[in-house]
Copies of this chain bind each other. A is one copy, B any other.
Amino acid sequence: MRKATTTTAGASAGLTETELAALDAHWRAANYLAVGQIYLMANPLLQEPLAPEHIKPRLLGHWGTSPGLNLVHTHLNRVIKARDLDALCVWGPGHGGPAVLANSWLDGTYGETYPDVGRDRAGMERLFRQFSFPGGVPSHVAPETPGSIHEGGELGYSLAHAYGAALDNPGLLVACVIGDGEAETGPLAASWHSNKFLDPVHDGAVLPILHLNGYKIANPTVLARLPESELDSLLRGYGHEPLHVTGDEPLAVHRAMAATMDRALDRIAQIQRDAREGRTTDRPYWPMIVLRTPKGWTGPHEVDGLPVEGTWRAHQVPLSGVRDNPEHLRMLQAWLRSYRPEELFDAMGTPDPAVLDCVPAGARRLGANPHANGGLLLRDLPVPPLERHAVRVDKPGTILHEPTRVLGSLLESVMEATSGRRDFRVFGADETASNRLEALYEATGKAWQAETLDTDEHLAPDGRVMEVLSEHLCQGWLEGYLLTGRHGLFSSYEAFAHIVDSMVNQHIKWLRTSRRLDWRRPIASLNYLLTSHVWRQDHNGFSHQDPGFVDHILNKSPEVVRVYLPPDANTLLSVADHVLRSRDYVNVIVAGKQPGFDWLTLDEARAHCARGAGVWQWAGTESASKTRYREPDAVLACAGDVPTLETLAAADLLRRYLPELVVRVINVVDMARLLPHDEHPHGMTDSEYDALFTTDKPVIFAYHGYPWLIHRLAYRRRGHVNLHVRGYREEGTTTTPFDMVVRNDLDRYRLVMDVIDRVPGLGVRAVAVRQTMADVRARHHTWIREHGTDLSEVVDWTWTG
């Protein structure tokens, strides 16, 4: 290990010996507390010789990264206090939960949040015992950890979260520790370029701290094994000015780290001043720190004859046999005593004043910064009255609108209304315009700090539309933005939402956990608009067809997930209005961008969306049976814009060809309505469901996605055996809209045939109608190959009921 060096020679001159000793005391205390959490369930202050019964029965946790995180935390404390900074830290190596928990306990926020784990002996014992213990706290930085906006279990998202937090927070510094393991992931590798989207005027600063301790679980890391010049070139290529701190001598590293932190913060302050006072509009080269210290630093150097400190063996629990192996027990005691706990804590467990010397006060503490509990700062979003944006519908199924374009005008209003507050952003993977949300550019630009040419449009350093060809970045930025108390929407091609399956998993887990913590205030929901969907990949074809994100989402915690399939423009507005006002959910909206029929007026749309699923009386023939009410012979249900079109067209055909048949038409907007009431808060009761779908009539359900999803939602219902679902069966590629539905047996003619096949006793006339339907389908197959277009009776169809 090289000795401590810093790129600023002599810059540590400012640190007195007393300050240095106090910083080291804080660091030692945090290290002691981290080790204690991994090993001890009693005797927290080592007031008696360590015995097997003081040791946890199961040793779990990650020591390797902890001393480095403690070093960073100690030094962040110092500069926050010295400069009165408003600062957050995103701890990428979140497996180092013991470190962040130790610091939160030390700065007092842990005890304020959890009064039984206060800054005394009993609190320390609880801190130790609860860690990775059944009924206790997870081993990672997690929602339960005060001051955190980032669960460190799955790696890759720290830097994107940090940038999301910094956006529109000009007074905030967001430090971000990036482990060299995490740095190998794709999302993290992409995140470095986030600095091309950060406005030094309106946004805060991100200070990346790349922590090279050299190893991941079982291997060296790529970045730690590059020559320093090559790493330096890489980081400069990312647009940063890297400052290097390297060493394994604690006091030397403290000096170097303090000097380098000062240099970085001075540079950040200068960048912000220059930009805010208009002295420069050049994209700045933001400073960052490369911290190179040993893995498991200050832990056992060698165990059972094998090197541990500074190797991958220090990753988790360096001494594993402590309860049964007296030598390991002895080594643990020596290790703990090496921090000189008697200097750090009094007999009551209270930290010595020197230990706390660097700790800032009140909300300046990293564990207490309100940005890390974003709900505290959240303001309601000014969503304008929908009347201003709704489309006029005099008669259903006769006028076409592009639903997402109508939504775009609503979003423009929200963007406009937040132009002063700057707490709303829209994110997209280079698809905002393709998804027909261009109206947004009337209210704001697309964030862009890199070079701009005369031919560019809508680029703006302070724009609040975020466009980058990375779903990971969109998702990560948005999560960071929401977790710090702001609002947003992510629009994506439907198929490519799967790119963030794993990220949204973690966000849902975060929300589910934080909802159960009283002290975490609700935050704005994470809202997806999935468009350019499976049915309209006219030129992208098979690779762009995947409706499965909804399936993925509906597997997750029902208190968090919501899925909406508005069938037209006004229902999309109503759903959008709802989700933009909601809290602590992940809302998925699937809606088309291609021209589609308007079915409902705004008032009807609102009522329909409030119910979530309901009969469209005007579309069925129940009320047409003038003389007396007759139960329907069949139910046509639908969810999604294309299935709704085909279902309505099928209802139209049935009315014309089989007028004696009584048909009910149901549209489902809120997919969770189909779930049992006790499985999802939106689920219908059985009596509601039975009244809607009947218990014994055939239900032909035309669904947007994989058909079995409907069965998975409705299998407990009485009428389930009569449920026949049509949906996407992975057929079709580059073709016309109607050919897609034909290939997947979701077309109007097929739906009519399905009804005829399932309603008993229809007689010979129905047989003839069925043949007519089959004939049209056959005609379609011939025509499409010849002409590449759809039949005129399909293209020209409008609702005539």
Contact = CB atoms under 8 A, between A and B. Distances in A.
A5 interface: no
Contacts of A218: 430-434, 467
Q: Which 3 A-B pairs have the closest CB atoms?
A: A234-B237, A153-B543, A186-B186
Contact of A233 (B155, B236, B720): B236
A138 B542 contact: yes
A469 interface: yes
A446 interface: yes
Contact of A135 (B134, B135, B502, B785): B785
A736 B230 contact: no
7 contacts: A133-B734, A139-B540, A153-B542, A218-B430, A219-B448, A234-B238, A498-B502
Contact of A430 (B132, B193, B219): B219
Interface string A106-150: 000000000000000000000000001111111110100000000
A231 interface: yes
A778 B213 CA distance: 45
Given A186-B189, A220-B448, 12 more contacts: A142-B543, A153-B541, A156-B499, A184-B469, A184-B473, A186-B472, A186-B473, A234-B234, A310-B455, A501-B502, A512-B730, A712-B712
Contacts of A156: 186, 499
Interface stretch (A70-78, A550-558, A751-759): A550-558
Contacts of A311: 455
A181 interface: yes
Nearest to A542: B509
Contacts of A401: none
A681 interface: no
A788 B541 contact: no
Contact of A551 (B41, B189, B555): B555
A533 to B, nearest CB: 15
A455 B431 CA distance: 48
B220 A459 contact: yes
A136 B453 CA distance: 39
Contacts of A187: 186
Contacts of A237: 226, 230-238
B430 A181 contact: yes
A184 B134 contact: no
Nearest to A57: B789
B230 A236 contact: yes
A135 B455 CA distance: 38
Nearest to A144: B733
Given A190-B185, A548-B555, A138 B715 contact: no
B185 A538 contact: no
A55 to B, nearest CB: 11
Contact of A193 (B152, B222, B498, B512): B222
How many copies the complex holds: the figure is 2
A402 interface: no
B58 A736 contact: yes
Contacts of A542: 138, 142, 153, 509, 513
A133 B788 contact: yes
A196 interface: yes
A569 interface: no
A34 to B, nearest CB: 15
A140 B543 contact: yes
A715 B706 contact: no
Interface in A592-626: none
A292 interface: no
A735 interface: yes
Contacts of A277: none
A739 B154 contact: no
B469 A181 contact: yes
A718 to B, nearest CB: 10
B140 A541 contact: yes
Nearest to A313: B455
A747 interface: no
A221 B430 CA distance: 10
A506 interface: yes
A189 B41 CA distance: 44
Interface string A452-485: 1101100100000001111011000000000000
A469 B57 contact: no
Contact of A555 (B192, B225, B452, B706): B706
A611 to B, nearest CB: 24
Contacts of A182: 469
A60 interface: yes
Given A237-B231, A430-B218, A539 B467 contact: no
A151 B499 CA distance: 16
A17 interface: no
A135 B784 contact: yes
A58 B538 contact: yes
A310 B459 CA distance: 17
A58 B193 CA distance: 38
A222 B196 contact: yes
A350 interface: no
Interface in A55-74: 56-58, 60-61
Nearest to A723: B715
A505 interface: yes
A83 interface: no
Contacts of A36: none
Contacts of A777: none
A218 B706 CA distance: 31
A326 to B, nearest CB: 22
Contacts of A154: 495-496, 499, 543-544
A708 interface: yes
A239 interface: yes
B789 A58 contact: yes
A28 interface: no
> Which among A41, A311, A448, A450 has the highest number of chain B CB atoms within 10 Å?
A450
A711 interface: yes
A546 interface: yes
Contacts of A446: 219
A279 interface: no
Nearest to A307: B455
Given A233-B236, A788-B134, A734 B60 contact: yes
Nearest to A60: B539
A217 interface: yes
Nearest to A234: B237
A216 interface: yes
Nearest to A554: B708
B139 A541 contact: yes
A715 B725 CA distance: 12
A433 B278 CA distance: 55
A222 to B, nearest CB: 5
A446 B419 CA distance: 53
A551 B709 CA distance: 11
